[in-house]
A and B are shown apart, each in its own frame.
Chain A
Amino acid sequence: MYVWIWRRLPGPLAAKVAEVLLLLAAVSALLLFIVFPWIEPHLPISQVTVPHK
């Protein structure tokens, strides 16, 4: 999969490296700011309360 992506990136080596970094940043941002905040409330972590009455 990663080889496949690497082959399809256009430009010389330096450009390819820059493109990889850009892709990584984009995927990380997508995960950190959209995917994780959305799935987090459904996970059994960071529950700090007890029921009241």
Chain B
Amino acid sequence: MTDNTVVASPAPASPPGRRPMSAGDRIRFALRGIGQTLITLGLVVLLFVVYEVWITNIFAHQAQVKVYNALQHEWQDGQDPLLPLPGENTTTIPLGSGIAVLYIPRLGRDYHFAVVQGSQVPDDAQLEKGPAHYADTQLPGETGNFAVAGHRVGKGEPFLNIDKLQSGDAVIVETKSFWYVYRVIGKPAGQNPQTVKEQVATVNGNPIMLPGREIVDPSDGDVLQPVPDNPGATPQKALMTFTTCHPKFTASQRMIVYSELVSKAPNNKKLKMPDSIEALYSEVNA
């Protein structure tokens, strides 16, 4: 191979036309080196952003589709992962497998995610597949708190637009047996859920009020309690809690969205949603 840019150098050690470096040359050389290094680092950081918001979504989407399809097959085979196996008393749901499908009309007709069973605190591998249920919190429809964590940016970003939810917005959870309709807490409907509250329990005759949305410290595990923020209180309603990061791209706080079960309809496994569920989509189009 020939190098066309260098023409016949007689002495490789000191090519002609290159004089010894002066002090100014050295400074320029050093500055250029620093400049190029900084530009390179900047490009690497930009590429990392591309990775976070785009590449991770590709892999997470593949994982989510797998879990979703596996869950649909289970349902078609008549298995309900939420029920104990025959001859057993307790449910043991395999970690990382699908348990329910989540629909949020406010976030669009296409919005649906298979919710996976997580650990006591869902780990990265589970969260990459989809929104993950905190094991040991209640199951869909149960009195208490069905708590689910999900990514806000990247990794499938199921909760990217969770801050767009208004008080009273429907959040639908489909299991093998039921369509559960939850509504974001707070009255009146259509408000910023952070500003409106609703009674979720009574302790010693005092009403316990809960907002539809909270921004909390990352260490605040009480949001997962059967009566959120009130450890030890006896739950009277079936609530659902979403946890995600806040603000976007950071881990400095957590955004919590609460909703409350308002109705349920049997899931007869028709390909279509029941009319009562379908109707929830026209609420947000209006």
Question: What are 26 A-B contacts defined by CB distance under 8 Å?
Answer: A1-B36, A2-B36, A7-B3, A10-B2, A31-B51, A32-B47, A40-B52, A41-B124, A44-B250, A45-B249, A45-B251, A46-B52, A46-B151, A46-B245, A46-B251, A47-B251, A48-B152, A48-B159, A48-B245, A50-B216, A50-B218, A50-B219, A51-B221, A52-B121, A52-B136, A53-B136
| B1 close to chain A: CB less than 8 A | yes
B27-65 interface code vs A (CB 8 A; 1 in, 0 out): 000000100110000001001101110010000000000
A22-53 interface code vs B (CB 8 A; 1 in, 0 out): 00000010011100100011001111111111
| B182 close to chain A: CB less than 8 A | no
- A7 to chain B minimum Cβ distance, whole angstroms, is 6
A-B contact count (CB 8 A): 89
Which range contains the number of B residues in contact with the other chain?
A: 35 or more
The interface size of chain A toward B, counting residues with CB under 8 Å, comes to 23
Q: Which residues from B are CB-within-8-Å of A49?
A: 121-122, 127, 134, 149, 243, 254
Q: Do A50 and B254 form a contact, CB below 8 Å, given A2-B36, A31-B44, A45-B249?
A: yes
Q: Which residues from B are CB-within-8-Å of A48?
A: 127, 149-152, 159, 243-245, 254
- A18 to chain B minimum Cβ distance, whole angstroms, is 14
Looking across the interface, which residue of chain B has its beta carbon closest to that of A2? B36
Given contacts A46-B152, A52-B137, 11 further A-B contacts (CB under 8 A): A7-B5, A10-B1, A36-B55, A41-B124, A45-B249, A48-B150, A48-B243, A48-B245, A49-B122, A49-B254, A51-B121
Q: Which residues from B are CB-within-8-Å of A2?
A: 36
Interface residues, chain A, with chain B CB atoms under 8 Å away: 1-2, 7, 10-12, 28, 31-33, 36, 40-41, 44-53
| B110 close to chain A: CB less than 8 A | no
The 5 closest A-B pairs by CB, nearest first: A47-B251, A10-B1, A51-B221, A36-B51, A49-B149
Q: Are A32 and B254 in contact (CB under 8 A)?
A: no
Q: Are A45 and B120 in contact (CB under 8 A)?
A: no
Whole-angstrom CA separation of A49 from B125 in the bound complex: 13
Q: Are A36 and B48 in contact (CB under 8 A)?
A: yes
Q: Are A44 and B4 in contact (CB under 8 A)?
A: no
